[in-house]
């Protein structure tokens, strides 16, 4: 239901959010989130163009969230890489009834709208305020264990 690219983008920002005021190299994020390095690079470029993250080039550079995690909705991230498309007119191209959808497409769009709203009102910060037994990006053995913080 969600594309692979969306998954990757969400994992990436979730990883960034753990320590969001510093840049993190693509390679680090890729290790942390277990996804293909070079594909992530493309995803990060898309997030950058959409203004979700900032790129810092050169040594000790990387990507960094553009806003605080409590200001960033999951929908923004999703739409940055693979926009959720609402059904705003009859896909059959039937003329004459502008925004009126038939019952079938009405239901489909209702469902899409629900999904959209779910993620519109979920912020990245909420993901981190985990109370359950499993931490944000799934490491269950290790303790808090963000990135490897320089010591």
Partner DNA sequence: TTTCTATCGGACATTTTTGTCCATCTTCTT
Partner DNA sequence: AAGAAGATGGACAAAAATGTCCGATAGAAA
Applying CB under 8 A, the residues found at the interface with its own copies are 1-2, 7, 10-11, 14, 33-34, 74, 84-85, 90-94, 96-97, 100-108, 110-112, 114-115, 118-119, 122, 126-128, 130, 132-141
Please select the residue that binds DNA; options are 42, 89, 120, 135, rule is CB under 7 A.
42
- Measured from the CB atom, the residue of 12 and 44 that comes closer to its own copies is 12
Structural tokens at position 116: 């959209």
Cβ(125)–Cβ(6) under 8 Å?
no
Cβ(84)–Cβ(112) under 8 Å?
yes
Radius of gyration of the chain (CA): 18
**What DSSP state is assigned to residue 108?**
H
Structural tokens at position 127: 């993901």
Determine, following the binding rule CB under 7 A, whether residue 121 of this chain makes contact with DNA: no
Listed residue (69, 52, 65) closest to 24, CA to CA: 65
How does 33-55 read in b/e, with b if 16+ C-beta sit within 10 Å?
A: bebeeeebeebbeebeebebbeb
Please select the residue that binds DNA; options are 1, 34, 60, 132, rule is CB under 7 A.
60
Pick one of its own copies, DNA, none as the site partner of residue 140 (Cβ within 5 to 8 A by kind). its own copies
From 10-18, 39-47, 71-79, 127-135, span contacting DNA (CB under 7 A): 39-47
Structural tokens at position 75: 């929908």
Pick one of DNA, its own copies, none as the site partner of residue 14 (Cβ within 5 to 8 A by kind). its own copies
Q: Which residues bind DNA (CB under 7 A)?
A: 3-5, 8, 23-27, 35-39, 41-42, 44-45, 48, 55-63, 82
């Amino acid at each position: 239901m969600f594309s692979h690219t969306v998954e990757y983008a969400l994992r990436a920002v979730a990883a960034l959010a753990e320590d969001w005021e510093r840049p993190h190299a693509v390679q680090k994020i890729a290790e942390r989130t277990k996804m293909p390095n070079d594909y992530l690079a493309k995803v990060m470029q898309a997030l950058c163009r959409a203004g979700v993250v900032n790129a810092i080039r050169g040594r000790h550079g990387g990507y960094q969230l553009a806003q605080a995690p409590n200001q960033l909705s999951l929908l923004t991230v999703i739409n940055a890489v693979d926009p959720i498309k609402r059904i705003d007119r009859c896909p059959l191209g039937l003329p004459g009834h502008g925004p009126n959808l038939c019952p079938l497409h009405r239901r489909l769009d209702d469902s899409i709208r629900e999904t959209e709203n779910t993620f519109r009102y979920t912020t990245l910060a909420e993901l981190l305020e985990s109370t359950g037994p499993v931490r944000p990006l799934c490491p269950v053995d290790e303790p808090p264990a963000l990135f490897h913080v320089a010591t």
